[in-house]
Amino acid sequence: MPPASAPLSVLDLAPIAEGSDATRALGNSRDLAAHADGLGYTRYWMAEHHSMPGIASAATSVALAYVGACTSTIRLGAGGIMLPNHSPLQIAEQFGTLAALYPGRVDLGLGRAPGTDQAAAHAMRRNFTADVNQFPRDVVELMDYFHPAKPRRVRAIPGEGLDVPEWILGSSTFGAQLAAMLGLPFAFASHFAPQMMMEAIAIYRGEFRPSARQATPHVMLGFNVFAADSDAEGELLATSMQQAVVALRSGNPGQLKPPLAGYRDTLGWNERTMIEGFLAASAIGGPARVAEQAAAFVARTGADELMVTSQIFDHDARKRSYTRLAEATGLRHAATRETAAVA
């Protein structure tokens, strides 16, 4: 099977498995980041979520500082920071600090969703405005804090003059339009909301305006992978995520549950349809099937990069999933050859 033509990156939601806790989840994230670094993945991103019992990455920049200490070449970033929850200055300072700690290796993905439910969103955003133009204004203000030469009274230190590429995240056409207008790379959340993916890609590529930050369009797509030694094992691993989807859509999110054989057979038509829609951008199975599905997805979408997430209950199985994907697509062999050439 020919390798997928797009670079591969990691999206880690720092899952808290049932019976575990945030301390172990963050330790697992640190271990996964080092593992992905060795395999040759391009980026390691963490996502901002709040009031979610099964996700430990709420303080995203703090978690990135922790996991980044055990990496050497992989890029570190947020996928993403939900900017309406914060002031642009604070985010510029936080990611400026990360860029000072890990020079030339920090990305900043920005989204406009709250990353939580309405109660938690209100708890964070006491002065929330419904102005649809506020997010674009905040993005421009944040970008301005990194500008090295512009005189200003309020300065982001660390941050000013540092190289922190901004990305726009989205699950609709709004983010595509904004990324195109600002000339920024665009990451689409197809790993959980693939319905508007093709339309958003077309808008972004069609309306893209070159900028000093990005000369040509760059599309990164979220992609679920449950890779194992066999198709049956991969399908079993995916049942943890399937249970999480049903729980989330039922308004009862919790810790990531262990895989459950025959889980789909217990579900009704509506729940099965929900899972199929949520996980439409996925590769599930043994190495050959996963490589084929990943290559087909890249060919269909024209993705410039895949941001791979693997919500797998067992940490060692999650690491093996990233290993199997790297091997199946040729990423691990390429990374090994590059390391040997440098040596």
Per-residue pLDDT of 193-215, as tens digits, reads 999 999 999 999 999 999 999 99
pLDDT tier, 117 (very low <50, low <70, confident <90, very high otherwise): low
CATH assignment at residue 240: 3.20.20.30
Whether residue 118 is predicted with pLDDT greater than 80 in this model: the reply is no
pLDDT tier, 336 (very low <50, low <70, confident <90, very high otherwise): very low
- Structural domain includes residue 39: yes
pLDDT tier, 47 (very low <50, low <70, confident <90, very high otherwise): very high
Q: What is the pLDDT of residue 239?
A: 97
Amino acid letter, 156: A
Mean pLDDT on 43-72: 95
Cis peptide before 286 (omega within 30 of 0): no
Mean pLDDT on 160-172: 95
| 268 CB-contact burial (10 Å; exposed 0-12 / middle 13-18 / buried 19+) | exposed
* Residue 62 backbone phi and psi in degrees, to 5: -65, -45
Domain residue limits at 149:
8-342
Which of these ranges, 35-44, 108-117, 296-305, has the smallest mean pLDDT?
108-117
Per-residue model confidence as pLDDT tens digits over 229-272: 999 999 999 999 999 999 988 888 899 999 999 999 999 999 99
Alpha helices in the chain (DSSP H): 22-39, 60-68, 88-101, 118-124, 134-145, 173-182, 197-207, 231-249, 269-278, 287-301, 315-329, 331-342
Mean pLDDT on 81-103: 95
pLDDT tier, 40 (very low <50, low <70, confident <90, very high otherwise): very high
- List the structure tokens of 232: 């049956």
Whether residue 342 is predicted with pLDDT greater than 60 in this model: the reply is no
Q: What is the pLDDT of residue 334?
A: 43
Whole-number mean pLDDT of the chain? 91
106 vs 340 pLDDT, higher one: 106
Whether residue 34 is predicted with pLDDT greater than 60 in this model: the reply is yes
pLDDT tier, 62 (very low <50, low <70, confident <90, very high otherwise): very high
- Structural domain includes residue 2: no
Please give the DSSP secondary-structure letter assigned to residue 284: E
- Structural domain includes residue 1: no
Mean pLDDT on 65-78: 97
Whether residue 322 is predicted with pLDDT greater than 80 in this model: the reply is yes
Percentage of the chain modeled with pLDDT above 70: 90
Is 298:219 a contact under the CB 8 Å cutoff?
no
Q: What is the pLDDT of residue 149?
A: 72
- Structural domain includes residue 104: yes
Whether residue 27 is predicted with pLDDT greater than 50 in this model: the reply is yes
Per-residue model confidence as pLDDT tens digits over 273-313: 999 998 999 999 999 999 999 999 999 999 999 999 999 99
Per-residue model confidence as pLDDT tens digits over 130-163: 566 799 999 999 999 998 877 788 999 999 999 9
Give the contacts of 268 (CB within 8 A, at least 6 positions apart).
none
Mean pLDDT on 111-118: 70
Q: What is the pLDDT of residue 66?
A: 97
**Count of domains observed in the chain:** 1
Mean pLDDT on 165-176: 96
What span, in angstroms and rounded, lies between the C-alpha atoms of 337 and 171?
A: 36
- Structural domain includes residue 335: yes
- Structural domain includes residue 277: yes
Q: What is the pLDDT of residue 340?
A: 37
- Structural domain includes residue 3: no
Taking Cα atoms as reference points, which of 172, 165, 174 lies closest to residue 218? 165
